[in-house]
Amino acid sequence: FQAPLTVSPKDPKMDAQTPMKSATSYNNFYEFGTDKTDPSENAGTLRTRPWEIAVDGDVGKPTTFGIEDLLAFPLEERVYRLRCVEGWSMVIPWVGFPLAELLKRVDPTGNAKYVAFQTLSDRSQMPGLKYPVLQWPYVEGLRMDEAMHPLTILAVGMYGETLPNQNGAPVRLVVPWKYGFKSIKSIVRITLTQDQPPTSWNRSQPREYGFYSNVNPEVDHPRWSQATERRVGEFSRRKTLPFNGYGEEVASLYAGMDLRKNY
C-alpha cells in the first residue's frame, strides 16, 4: 500500500473509526438476506477468485479487468464516513483506488454521461436471490462527474485487510457523500452510457429513493427523518451533515440544481 491518505478528518471525535467487528457484522447486502447479520452469516458461499469486471459502453477501449489487474492499481487508505439511508452511520478505513483511474484506462467517449454498475447475480452463491426483495441483479449509477470525482473510489479492502465477502468482496464502489446503497457491492460490470441508468432502489420505490441520493438532512425519507443518525457503537443520535460532511469537496457538482427535486 502507498502512504495512508485520510480525507477531511476535521473533528477527531466525529471520525473515530467504527470497530471492525461492527462494520463486518452489521450489513445490508440483500443478496445474502435482509437481516443485518445475514450477510456475515451467509456470504461465505461467494467465490471472489477468479473475478472479472467488464467495462464497456461508450468507451474507446472496452476492457475486462481481472481482480489481479485491479489489485495492481496503486492502493490507498481512505477513512470515510458511511451514512446508511436507514439512519445509522459508521466510519470505515477503506483500501482502494479512485474510480477515475480505472475509467481513464478505457477511454470514455464524448457520449459517456453516466456510469452504470451491476452486482453479481448468481443463485448458487447468493441465497437471498430466491426472494424478490428487489429486482436482481442490483444496479446502481453515477453521473460521469460524480464517478470521476477524486473522493469516489473502488475499494478492495478495509481495515488494512482484504475486503470481507459481506462488505462486497472482491471489489465495491464507495461514494462517501451519498447514502450507502449507492456504494454498490461485488461489481461485475461497469457500463458508460449516454442516458441516466436505472438504479435498484429507485426502480423499487421511486418516491423514496432518487437517482442522486446525496446525504441530505433537509430531505426526509418519506418513512423516516434524515435529520439525525446514530453512529454505530454510540448511544445518542447526532445531526446528519449535508453531503455527509463532504460538502466542501462535492457541493459544486450540484450547483444550480434543486436538491429537493433531485433527491
Partner 1 sequence: MAAAQKNLAKGPVARALASRWAKPAVFVLGLVPLGWMVWLGVSGGLGAEPVAEAVRQSGLWALRLLLVALAVTPLRILTGQAGLARFRRMIGLFAFFYALLHVSVYVGVDQFFDWAAVWKDIVKRPYITVGMGAFVILTALAATSTNGMVRRLGGRRWKALHKAVFLAGAAGCVHYVMLVKGWQYPPFVYAAILLGLVALRYTKSPAAGRLSPSYRT
- The residues that touch partner 1, with contacts defined as CB under 8 A, are 21-23, 25-26, 30, 34, 36-37, 86, 88, 131-134, 201, 204, 220, 222-225, 227-228, 230, 232-233, 235-237
**Shortest spacing between CB 97 and partner 1, in angstroms:** 28
What SS3 class is residue 42? Answer: helix
245, HSE (Cβ side, Cα atoms, 13 Å): 20
Q: In sequence order, which residues have a C-beta less than 8 Å from that of residue 83 and are 6 or more positions away?
A: 89, 179, 180, 215, 229, 240, 244
**Shortest spacing between CB 82 and partner 1, in angstroms:** 13
Closest CA to 227 of 235, 238, 236: 238
Measured between alpha carbons, how far is 108 from 125 in angstroms, rounded to an integer? 32
CB of 26 or CB of 51, closer to partner 1: 26
CB of 235 or CB of 252, closer to partner 1: 235
**Shortest spacing between CB 155 and partner 1, in angstroms:** 19
Phi and psi (nearest 5°) for 182? -70, -25
Measured between alpha carbons, how far is 158 from 91 in angstroms, rounded to an integer? 11
CB of 121 or CB of 193, closer to partner 1: 121
**Shortest spacing between CB 93 and partner 1, in angstroms:** 17
**Shortest spacing between CB 61 and partner 1, in angstroms:** 37
CB of 59 or CB of 85, closer to partner 1: 85
CB of 7 or CB of 232, closer to partner 1: 232
In Å, what is the CA distance from 177 to each residue of 81, 89, 93, 253?
8, 12, 15, 12
Record the cell numbers describing residue 223, joined without a space: 418513512
199 within 8 A of 58, measured Cβ to Cβ? no
CB of 21 or CB of 61, closer to partner 1: 21
Q: How far is CA 94 from the centre of its chain?
A: 11
Q: What is the DSSP string of 191-216?
A: EEESSPPP-HHHHH-TTT--SS-B--
**Shortest spacing between CB 181 and partner 1, in angstroms:** 9
CB of 57 or CB of 180, closer to partner 1: 180
**Shortest spacing between CB 18 and partner 1, in angstroms:** 8
